[in-house]
Structure 1
Amino acid sequence: MPGAGRRVGAGAPLPRPGLEHAVSTDRDTEAAAAETPTPPAGQEPPGTPPPAAPAEAAAGEGGGRPPAEEDGAAEDPAGPGPGAAGGSAAEPVAQAGGGAGEDSAGGGRESGDPQAAADGDAPEAEAPAASAPDGAAAGAAGGDGAAQPSEAEAELAAQRYERERIARRKAERQAPVEAGGKLSGRAADLLAAVRAVESGKPAPAYFDDAPAVPRRTAPQAPAARAPEPAPRPRPEAAAPAAPPAERVEAVRAVLARGGAPAELAAPAAAALGEDAAEQLAEDPWRLLAVAGVRPSQADGFARALLGPGAGPADERRAAALVGWLLEQAALKGHTALEAAALEAALAGYGVPAPAEALGQAIAEGLVLVFHEPVAESAARAAQPADPEADADAGQPVRVLVGLEGHALAEESLADGLARLTGTFTGEGAAAWDPSAAGAGAELVRAAAAHGLVVHTGGEAARAEPLALAAAAREHGLRTCLAAHAPAPGAVTVAGLLAGAEGPERDADGRFALDLLVVLDAPQLDVETAAALVESVPDGARLVLSGDPAVLGSAGPGRVFADVLAARVYPQVASRVPDPGPIGELVSGIGIGELNQVDAPGREVVIVPVRDAGEAVHRTVQLVAESVPRAFGIGADGVQVITPGHGGSAGTRALNAALKERLNPGPGRFGGFDPGDRVVHVPSPGRAVPARVVSADAAGLHLDAAGARVVVPKELVESRVRHGWAVTAHQAVGARWPAVVVVLPGDAVPALSRDWVYTAFGRAERHLSVVHGVDQALPRAVAEVLPKPRTTRLAGLLRGLAAAAQEQPQ
C-alpha cells in the first residue's frame, strides 16, 4: 500500500513578576545530563551535529538509567521571579494583601556532575512582605527560633555527607585502577565507561537535549488513589540471563589484547551475542554496542588490536559510528535522522567521506533510508525562492535514515491505526445517548461513530474519558481504561501489555474488548504504542486522550503529537478548564504566559531562596511542618519535584535530607529502612511509588499501593531509589494533594515551558515553589519550547489516509 515516507530501496515579553507571580518553568529532562564532551581532534565532533542542545537527563526513576547512578541526568528546572531581600521566607502567589504565605521547596537540576550545583549558585531572591503560616516562614537570614538552627545543621550535614561521598567515589574512579596492574590512558577510559554503565550513566548525546530513554512518570500519592485489591506478593522479574562463562572468558581475552578493562567482558558478551569474541577481534569498533562506550574509547581499543592501520577512514569504523549515532539519537526521542545531519555527525568524527560511508551502511542493510514528502509550505520556508526552478519538478522530499527496529515500529503503528479505522463499522452508533455524559457528551458522540478518536485537555478534562467509559459499559461494550501511572478505575499500560492487568487476550493474541481508552497518551513511545494498537481487535474503538503540553515520552517517537499533526482522525478538544488558582496558573504557562494569580487560600506560594543549601532546608521545612500544619495534608501527601538527580538540591540531596527528618535510620537494607518512601523502576520507563516493608535473603520487600513486590538484592541498587523527591518526568501522570517544586539557581539551563507546566500541574490543592532562578523562569515559559524530534509517523498516517481515499469504494 502506498504511503508517505515508506521505505525506499533497502509570545510578547512578560512583565517582571514579583513573588506574587507564581509560575516557574523547568524543562524536565530526566535523561542524563550528559553534556556533549569536547572530543580530541579527528575523533569526536567539536559540537553537536543535528539540533544541538544540552543533553537531558534520562531519569533512572522512570527512565533507562538506574536509580543508583551517581551523577548525570539533569531535568530542566524552573523558578519564579526574584524575591525581595529580607522579609518572610514564604510568599503567597496572590495580589498584595493576600493571606499568609507558605514555605515551599523544590528539587535542583541534576547536571553531569552532581557537585556541579554548589551551594550559593542560586541568585539571592527578594521576598515581598507577607506572613508565613504557623511559623513556617523562617527568615532566609535565620529567624526560625532556637530549635531551628540545629535542624538546619542536620539537613545541611546530610547534604555535605552526600556530596563528600560522591566526591570520594568520583576520585576513586578517576585514579589509576588495579586490575592485574595499574591502568591508565585508553584502558582507564574504557574502565570508566564500564563503571558509567554499572552506575546507570547514559552515553553522551549528540543531537538534542530531548529526554533520554526512558524517562517516565512518577507515582501517585496513596492519598490521591482509591484502594485497589492487593494481588499476591510477586517477585520482580529478574535481569536478563547472563551470557555463558565461556563466552565471557573469550571476550575478556580479546579485551585484554586491546588493553581494555576486563569489566567490559560481560556486557560486551551480552550485547554482541554468541560470536562476540570473534566480532570484536575482526571489528574492534563493535565495542560501541556496549552502552557507555564512546567513539574515542573504541578508537583506542581498535588501534591496540589492529595497529596503525586502524584509522578514521576504516569502513568498519564508519559503519559502527552510523549505528551508534542513531542509537544516541533514539535516546533523545528521534526515530530517524535526516541524512544530511547524520553525514555532518560522521564528518565531525573524522570520517573522510561521510556521504559514501552512509551509502555503504545503507547498501549493507545496517540502516534503512526513507523518502518523506515535505509539505510545499515547509519546503518554501526552508529554501529561498528560485525563479529558475522547474515548475514541473516533483514534490520535494527529505531523506531520512533510521534503524530497522524503530522504522518497523512506526510502520506497524501506522498500519495498526489504519486497520482499526478500516474495520470499524459503527453499528448501533445512533443508539448511544450522550446526554448523561455532561461535558463529555462530545467525546461520547465521536467515539460512538468512529473507530479512533483523539481527545485533548488538561487535568480536569480527564473526567470526559471516564464518562465515556461509563457510557460504553452501560451500552454493553467491553471497556478498558488504561493510564500511564496508577489511577482510580484504570489499569496501567505496562500492566495491560504484560497481562498482569485488564482483559485477557483471545486466540489471536488481542484483547477481549470493544473499547480501549488510553489516558496519558503523550507518554506512549512508538514501540509501546505499536504493541498496544496491535493488541486491539478489528472493529473495536480506540480513544487516545492526553494533554499535549506535558513532557513527552521517554522512549523514541512522539506518537500523540504525530497523530494530532496528521489530522486524519476525529479530534475532540475539551473545553473544561482546570479549576482554581493552580489551574489558572498552569493554563497560562501552557500558552507561554507566567501570569499573576489570586490565591486567597494560599493555593500557590513562592518561597525565595538564595542558594541550594537554603533550598533544601526550606523544602524539608515545608514537607515536614508548614504544609501539614497549614493545610492538614500529611507528609505522605506532599511530593517534592526537582529538575534532576544530582547537584546540591537534586533528588539525591533532597531525599537524604528528607529521610533524615521523616524516617531516620542506618539504611541497613542496601541504604533503605522499613518505612522509606521509594520509587521502584521495574523496567525502563516505569516509575512506581512504593514503601519499604522489610528485607530478607530473597531481596527488598516493597508495598506498591497494596501490591507486594520483592526486588532481588542484586537489583536493589539499580531499581530502587528514595522517592520523597522525584523528577518531573517521574511525576507525569500522577497528582498529589500538595507539591513542592524546587528551582535552585543551577537549574536555569534546564528550564523549559513543558517542564514547568508538568511540574506545577501535579498539585491538586497546594503548590509551593522554592525559587532561586530569578528571571529565568518567565523567560523559559515564554521562549523555551520542547525540543523537536525527528519522526515519520505523521507522514505515514497521512499517506495511508490518502491511499485509502483513492481506493474504489
Structure 2
Amino acid sequence: MSTEPVPPESTENAGPATPDAAGEPGTPDHTATAQPGPAPADSAPTSDDDTPPARGTAEGASGGEGGGEGTPAAEADTDAGPGADKAAEGEAAAQLSEAQAELAAQKLERERIERRRAEKAEPIHSGTKLSGRAADLLAAVRAVESGAKPPATAFAEPAPAPRRPAPEPVRRPQPSAAAPAADAAPAPAAEAVEDVRRALADGGAPEALASQAAAALGEGAGELLREDPWQLLRLPGVRPEQADGFARALLGPECAPDDERRGRAVTVWLLEQAALAGHTALELPTLTAALGRQAVPDAEAAVQSALAEGEALVFQDALDSVDAVRAGRPEGTAENGGGGNGGGENGEDAEEARPVRVLVGLERYALAEESLADALARVVNSLPQEASERWEPLTAGASGSAAELLRAVAGHGLVLHTGGDASRAEPAALLTAARTLGLRAVAACHTPDGRQRFAALLGERAAAGAVVTVPGLLAGSEGPGRDADGAFALDLLVLLDAPQLDVESAAMLAESLPDGARLVLSGDPAVLWSAGPGRVFADLLAARTCPQVASRTPDPGPIGELVSGVGIGELNQVDAPGKEIVIVPVREAGEAVHRTVQLVADSVPRAFGITPEETVAITPGHGGAAGTRALNAALKERLNPGPGRFGGFDPGDRVAYSPAPGRTVPGRVVTADADGLHLSCADGPVVVPRERVEQAVRHGWALTAHQAVGGRWPAAVVVLPGDAAQTLSRPWVYTAFGRAERHLSVVHGVEQALPKAVAEVPAKPRTTRLPVLLRTQAPAAD
C-alpha cells in the first residue's frame, strides 16, 4: 500500500507508516510504500449541524448506514441521488420524460399486481389466539380490509428508522403516472394552488409549498389542510414540529397533542420515515415507542385510528425458533405475554405459546412484498419439465463457477449468483450460452456504467440488444418489449447488481416475467443495500428457497485484495508496489477538502495519468464540512470555476442527475435556456425543467457511496473526515473502496473508527416481511 505523492511545498514525512495491530491505514505518500496504520493521534473529529445522516435517514439527520446513506438511505445513504421528490410538478408534457416513462410503467405493473392479488385473496386464518393489544389491532384492520393473508417478519430496533440523508427525494414517488403522454398527471389547477397558498399563509407555512401540497393532497387540498392541518406531514421534508406549528396557527385553542388527527398523521409519517430507512414495516412496540417520543399521549389509540382509517395495515405471524432468537425472545413466549406451559390435550396450549410478532406497515410495501413472493414462487414452479440435456453440451465446455451457474440455470427457474466485480464474467458466459441456444435472454444493470462494463464482456456485436438498464426495461424504452399480456418477451432475465433492488422494483420485474421464464439474480452481497425499502437479495439468500452459486473468481490486484478483506471484516495490510492504494492522513475537515482537491486535480493525474473526469471522490454524506456539498464546491472552483449562472451550474460542470428517487445518473452541463438545464448523460441528452433543477441535479465530482454504487472509476478518492466516524460501517467501506479500478486514495481522518467499522459494524438491520412470505411459498433449497 502506497502513500500519496507529496506536492513540492509539503513538509510531510515521506517515509512508510508504522502499521498498528488493527491494520488501519496510516501515513501516506506516493513516493513510498506504506501499510494500513493509524492516522495521527491528534486528528480531531469535527462536527457540523449538517453532518451526513445515516443510511436510510433524511438529509440533515444524524446517523450511519440505514436505508439510504446518510440512502441507502440518504445517501439518502441510500446514497440515493440528489433532490427531494416533488409530486406532479409543472405542466403536462407533450412527450414523456425518462422519469415519467418509468412511473407510467410502474402504474401498469401495479394494476396487474392488484388484479392478481384480488383473484387469489383469502381470509386471514392466523391470529385467532392473540389477545389484548394485538387482538384489538387485528380486529381493527379486519373491520376495514378484505382480509388478505398478512404474514410478517421481525424488527427489533428500539427506535424508528431515521430519515435518509440523501440529497434527493425524501419520499419515493407513487407509481401512479399515466402510461401515455396524453394521460400524464396534469398540474394542479391554478385555483386549487391558490386556495392551498392561502391556507398555508394562514398557518404561517411557506407559500412555496402550494403546488406541491395541491398535487400531493389532491382535490380540495386547501380545505383539507384547514380541517386537518397535520396533513402537511404528507409533504416531503416536513417534520412533526413544523406541522404542529401550522396546526396551532390554524386551530388556535382547539389544537392539542392528543388530537386524533395528529396521532394518525404522525403514525403514517413514522412509517414513511421507516420506509426511507429501508424497512417495509415496523414492529408494534417500536412504533408505539416512537409515537411516545413524538409526544403522542396515547400511542395505541393513534395506531388503531390509522388502522381504522385504512392508512396503515397490521400483520401478525407465528415465529419459528430461529426468528424468535433473532427477535430476542425466548422460545415458547408470545409477544403479549402469551403463555409457555406445555400443550394441552388438543395441543391448543402449545399453539398459543408460539412466539408471535405484530407489525404495522403501509399498504404499498405490503402489497409489493406479497406480490414479489407470489411472483417468485410462480417463476420457480412454472419452469416446464424440459430436458436439461439441451444445456449439457454448453455445461460440458465450461469449468469452475461458470459451469455451476450453467447447470443451476438449466434445471431451475430462479438462481442466485454471488461474487465481486470480476465474477461478472460468469453471468456473461451464461447469457452467451442462452442466446446460443436460441433463447430470448437479456441482462439488466442498474446504471448506464454497469451496462457499458457488462457489454464490454460480451463484445460489441453480442451485446447489441442483450444488455439494458433496469429503469429502461421497466419503462419499455430498452429491451424486447412486452407481449399481449404485458409480460416481458423473455426466456431468461439476468439481473446484475441485485442488492440494489428495492421491493417495489423487484415485484414489478418478477410480475413481468412470463410463465416458464428463468430469473438469475447476480450481485455482491457485501455492498450497500438498496436505496428504497427492502433487502430483497439478502432475504432471498437467507431464505435458501432456490439454488445459490458462489463465484470463486477473486477481484484482482491490491485493491481487490483490500476489498475482499473488508468484506470479511478485516482491514488487511496490502502490498501495493504500483502505489495502487495510498493513505492520506488529515487532522480536520478543512484539510480533508484541501487534500481531496489536490489529489483529484493534480496528484493522481500526474502520478497515474488518470484525468479528473475519470476520478470520483466518495464521502459518507452530503452535509458536514467535508460532505459532497463542500467537496463539490471546492472541486468546481478548481476544475470549472464560474458564476453558476443557472441555479449554481455552468456549462462543463460535472453533475449527478436523479431522474427518479434512488437513481443517480452522471452527466455534464451543456447549456441552459428557458426550457431548463441541458445535460449530456450516458443515455443521451436530457433537459431538466427549471423547477426540477434544485431537486434533481447536484454537482457530481463528489458522491456518496449510495450514489456511486453500481459504477466504477479508474481512480477513487474516499474521504473520511473526523465527523463521519459514527456513520461508517463495513458495507459502506466495502462499497466505497470497491469503486476504484486502478487507484484508491483514502483521505483518512477517523483514526481507529475505520478498522472498528470494518470489524464490528455490519449492515444496519431492516425489517422486512419477505423472509416469512418466502418460507410459506417454497421449501428450503438444498
1:421 to 380, 384, 404: 380
**Partner residue, 1:646:** 623
**Partner residue, 1:219:** none
Number of matched pairs: 628
Work out whether residues 728 and 758 of structure 1, in 8 Å CA contact, stay in contact via their aligned partners in 2: yes
Work out whether residues 754 and 786 of structure 1, in 8 Å CA contact, stay in contact via their aligned partners in 2: yes
Residues 409 and 212 of structure 1, relative CA distance in 2, 3 Å threshold:
farther
User: After superposition, where does 1:234-273 map in structure 2 within 5 Å?
Assistant: 241-273=186-218
**Partner residue, 2:576:** 599
- 1:381-411 Cα offsets, whole Å, 9 max, x none, are 6235779822222232211111111110111
Work out whether residues 22 and 769 of structure 1, in 8 Å CA contact, stay in contact via their aligned partners in 2: no
Work out whether residues 196 and 213 of structure 2, in 8 Å CA contact, stay in contact via their aligned partners in 1: yes
Cα deviation, residue 469, structure 1: 0.6
**Partner residue, 1:58:** 74
Secondary structure in 2 matching 1:543:
strand
1:434 to 395, 398, 401: 395
Work out whether residues 194 and 210 of structure 2, in 8 Å CA contact, stay in contact via their aligned partners in 1: yes
**Separation in structure 2 between the aligned mates of residue 561 and residue 349 of structure 1, nearest angstrom:** 32
**Partner residue, 1:448:** 410
Whether 1:390 aligns to 2:341 is yes
Residues 212 and 790 of structure 1, relative CA distance in 2, 3 Å threshold:
farther
Report which stretch shifted further, 28-37 or 686-695: 28-37
- 1:6-38 Cα offsets, whole Å, 9 max, x none, are xxxxxx98356644344999997375443379x
User: After superposition, where does 1:134-533 map in structure 2 within 5 Å?
Assistant: 207-209=160-162, 211=164, 241-380=186-325, 382-384=328-330, 389-392=340-343, 393-394=350-351, 395-432=354-391, 433-439=394-400, 440-486=402-448, 487-488=451-452, 489=455, 490-533=467-510
Whether 1:626 aligns to 2:577 is no
**Partner residue, 1:148:** none
Whether 1:547 aligns to 2:547 is no
Whether 1:35 aligns to 2:61 is yes
Work out whether residues 58 and 74 of structure 2, in 8 Å CA contact, stay in contact via their aligned partners in 1: yes
Cα deviation, residue 531, structure 1: 0.9
Residues 275 and 553 of structure 1, relative CA distance in 2, 3 Å threshold:
same
Cα deviation, residue 343, structure 1: 1.3
**Partner residue, 2:30:** none
- 1:281-329 Cα offsets, whole Å, 9 max, x none, are 3222222112222222222333333333332222222211211110111
- 1:548-582 Cα offsets, whole Å, 9 max, x none, are 11001011111111111111111111111111111
Amino acid at match of 1:527: E
Report which stretch shifted further, 466-475 or 665-674: 665-674
Report which stretch shifted further, 262-271 or 553-562: 262-271
Residues 524 and 377 of structure 1, relative CA distance in 2, 3 Å threshold:
closer
Work out whether residues 442 and 479 of structure 2, in 8 Å CA contact, stay in contact via their aligned partners in 1: yes
Secondary structure in 1 matching 2:549:
strand
Cα deviation, residue 802, structure 1: 5.0
Secondary structure in 2 matching 1:355:
helix
**Separation in structure 2 between the aligned mates of residue 311 and residue 59 of structure 1, nearest angstrom:** 35
Amino acid at match of 2:415: V
Residues 656 and 380 of structure 1, relative CA distance in 2, 3 Å threshold:
closer
Residues 398 and 206 of structure 1, relative CA distance in 2, 3 Å threshold:
closer
Residues 616 and 788 of structure 1, relative CA distance in 2, 3 Å threshold:
same
Secondary structure in 2 matching 1:600:
coil
**Partner residue, 1:609:** 586
Cα deviation, residue 348, structure 1: 2.3
Cα deviation, residue 636, structure 1: 1.8
Cα deviation, residue 214, structure 1: 8.8
**Separation in structure 2 between the aligned mates of residue 655 and residue 663 of structure 1, nearest angstrom:** 11
**Separation in structure 2 between the aligned mates of residue 215 and residue 522 of structure 1, nearest angstrom:** 20
Work out whether residues 201 and 207 of structure 2, in 8 Å CA contact, stay in contact via their aligned partners in 1: yes
- 1:597-645 Cα offsets, whole Å, 9 max, x none, are 1111111111112222222222222222222222222222211111122
**Separation in structure 2 between the aligned mates of residue 61 and residue 696 of structure 1, nearest angstrom:** 32
**Separation in structure 1 between the aligned mates of residue 199 and residue 674 of structure 2, nearest angstrom:** 36
Residues 737 and 55 of structure 1, relative CA distance in 2, 3 Å threshold:
closer
Residues 557 and 617 of structure 1, relative CA distance in 2, 3 Å threshold:
same
**Separation in structure 2 between the aligned mates of residue 23 and residue 209 of structure 1, nearest angstrom:** 33
User: After superposition, where does 1:728-743 map in structure 2 within 5 Å?
Assistant: 728-743=705-720
Cα deviation, residue 210, structure 1: 7.7
1:794 to 764, 771, 774: 771
Amino acid at match of 1:391: G
**Separation in structure 1 between the aligned mates of residue 553 and residue 182 of structure 2, nearest angstrom:** 41
Work out whether residues 738 and 763 of structure 1, in 8 Å CA contact, stay in contact via their aligned partners in 2: yes
Work out whether residues 31 and 210 of structure 1, in 8 Å CA contact, stay in contact via their aligned partners in 2: yes
Amino acid at match of 1:243: P
Amino acid at match of 1:29: R
Residues 709 and 15 of structure 1, relative CA distance in 2, 3 Å threshold:
closer
Residues 283 and 674 of structure 1, relative CA distance in 2, 3 Å threshold:
closer
Work out whether residues 701 and 709 of structure 1, in 8 Å CA contact, stay in contact via their aligned partners in 2: yes
**Partner residue, 1:682:** 659
Residues 794 and 210 of structure 1, relative CA distance in 2, 3 Å threshold:
farther
**Separation in structure 2 between the aligned mates of residue 496 and residue 56 of structure 1, nearest angstrom:** 22
**Separation in structure 1 between the aligned mates of residue 213 and residue 709 of structure 2, nearest angstrom:** 34
Cα deviation, residue 668, structure 1: 2.8
**Separation in structure 2 between the aligned mates of residue 28 and residue 441 of structure 1, nearest angstrom:** 40
**Partner residue, 1:668:** 645
**Separation in structure 2 between the aligned mates of residue 515 and residue 584 of structure 1, nearest angstrom:** 33
Secondary structure in 2 matching 1:557:
coil
Amino acid at match of 2:505: T
Report which stretch shifted further, 448-457 or 390-399: 390-399
TM-score (ref. length: structure 1):
0.72
Secondary structure in 2 matching 1:544:
strand
Report which stretch shifted further, 429-438 or 528-537: 429-438
Amino acid at match of 1:491: V
Residues 61 and 389 of structure 1, relative CA distance in 2, 3 Å threshold:
closer
Residues 691 and 54 of structure 1, relative CA distance in 2, 3 Å threshold:
closer
**Separation in structure 1 between the aligned mates of residue 288 and residue 271 of structure 2, nearest angstrom:** 12
Higher RCO (CA-CA < 8 Å; seq separation 6+): 1
Secondary structure in 1 matching 2:778:
helix
**Separation in structure 1 between the aligned mates of residue 289 and residue 308 of structure 2, nearest angstrom:** 19
Secondary structure in 2 matching 1:501:
coil
Residues 215 and 422 of structure 1, relative CA distance in 2, 3 Å threshold:
farther
Work out whether residues 747 and 773 of structure 1, in 8 Å CA contact, stay in contact via their aligned partners in 2: yes
**Partner residue, 1:124:** none
Secondary structure in 2 matching 1:794:
helix
**Separation in structure 1 between the aligned mates of residue 165 and residue 623 of structure 2, nearest angstrom:** 16
Amino acid at match of 1:14: A
Amino acid at match of 2:245: G
Percent identity (aligned): 64
**Separation in structure 2 between the aligned mates of residue 476 and residue 500 of structure 1, nearest angstrom:** 23
Secondary structure in 2 matching 1:700:
strand
**Separation in structure 1 between the aligned mates of residue 309 and residue 602 of structure 2, nearest angstrom:** 64
Residues 56 and 512 of structure 1, relative CA distance in 2, 3 Å threshold:
closer
Cα deviation, residue 541, structure 1: 0.4
Cα deviation, residue 462, structure 1: 1.4
